[in-house]
Structure 1
């Protein structure tokens, strides 16, 4: 596995080191928010301003020359080392993740550990909420439930602390020679609803921060193997603009390189059909 050394160190230091923060933001302007961070007078509002600015910068490709990305990374990391506020540290780490794109100094992994930082086998336990959302998203008639399979994992794609469900749907309504369909679901009223469906997808999928590939995207990048259906076999990256991912056909080809992230929807066990319900 690869880890950010200072982050691991921070976990051990948080209980011993303390810092106090004012309850109110120093200012509603971004520049003052930056100053507040640098002066150690950061507040929740300052953090929120920085977080939103960073997300917006990534929508533009992360090329905002007026923002000191490297310098702010060091400042944020320093605040993590000093703070014992659990909630504030979660925000700080989210900001650091965007600032570094997962590319800050890491321990060199052993040869057998090169590649994804984490691998998640696809969940194959029947889930009634996801099952209902799949049926609704594709308007699948009951007669085809027994031939439609689904598997899933959960991932925060937006850096907002809320999990999305990434569902691989395989069946007559969602699959073809080019692959299956990835259905992204978001939570609503303690249930799931369709966020987006992307067809012609092959699992597993690697989820990576935009900085790993230096591609503009306002959500985490989804990397998959594109093959079949007349397409040249290659790995491709799904990027997002204004909260919507591009199509598989529009995805940019990924050249040979080491990319860190989470590999999910690894198919090891048989996926349930839409006929199966939670027990």
Structure 2
């Protein structure tokens, strides 16, 4: 076995022992990253959807006008999320790769239903996984808690709130404008994109848009 193979086997064994195992016939084995299992006592970890939803994929490619040459190099994870508190599901997708990533993180895309499929509602950059969804407003609308780092500043968890616009739509504040989040130990929420993405890359167990 190669040196890389041994590392992969060890990581897979550790992931198995720590729990969070999910099997997929098409994508192989998926695990919750070990560091995400200790975010807070009331923060549950959720693995991203395993199957590639064609409608979501098409909406991302067309809505973001992603060049054909970039599709095979773009990794994506997504989850269905009730962001409004009404029971209606939206989609959050995390895209990484040369066209979407930088030293500050990856790109998060919020998609909403247009009656026939999905459309891009908002795009946020500088996002690192996991993304914690929590109801901090008390009105059911989810806030997003993300880790902001880079640019020579001290890393910290920040809160992105939904702000009502003049057209009555809601948009999240940007990562740069996020305010310091409450202590994670006091939060109740769901850690989205909690997957062990490093292990996924090592084993090829990830989806691309190509």
TM-score using structure 2 length? 0.70
Instruction: Give the match's secondary structure for 1:150.
Output: strand
1:235 aligned partner:
157
What residue is the counterpart of 1:130 in the other structure? 56
Distance 2:132 2:141 in 1: 13
Residue matched to 2:176: 249
Distance 1:218 1:247, change over 3 A: farther
1:107-158, Cα deviation, whole Å (9 max, x unpaired):
xxxxx89523432112242221111111123211111111011101111110
Q: Does 1:265 align with 2:200?
A: no
Whole-Å separation in 2 of the counterparts to 1:113 and 1:201 = 17
State how far apart, in whole Å, the 1-side matches of 2:96 and 2:144 are.
19
With the length of structure 1 as denominator, give the TM-score of the two structures: 0.53
Whose Rg is larger? Answer: 1
Alignment of 1:35-114 (within 5 A): 114=40
For residues 11-60 of structure 1, what are the alpha-carbon distances to aligned partners after superposition, in whole Å with 9 as ceiling and x for unaligned?
A: xxxxxxxxxxxxxxxxxxxxxxxxxxxxxxxxxxxxxxxxxxxxxxxxxx
| Structure 2 residue runs without a partner (length 5+) | 1-37, 165-169
**What is residue 206 of structure 1 aligned with on the other side?**
132
- Aligned mates of 1:180, 1:194 — CA distance in 2: 16
**Segments of 4+ moved more than 3 angstroms:** none
Residues 1:225 and 1:117: Cα distance change in structure 2 (over 3 Å):
closer
The structure whose RCO (Cα within 8 Å, separation 6+) is larger is 2
Higher helix proportion (structure 1 or 2): 1
Displacement of 1:193: 0.5
Counterpart position of 1:116: 42
Match 2:97 to one of 171, 177, 195: 171
**What corresponds to 1:220 in structure 2?**
142
Superposition map of 1:126-205 within 5 A = 126-205=52-131
Gaps of 5+ in 1: 1-111
Q: Across the two proteins, how many residue pairs are aligned to each other?
A: 160
Name the structure with the higher strand share.
Answer: 2
Partner Cα separation in structure 2 for residue 222 and residue 196 of structure 1: 13
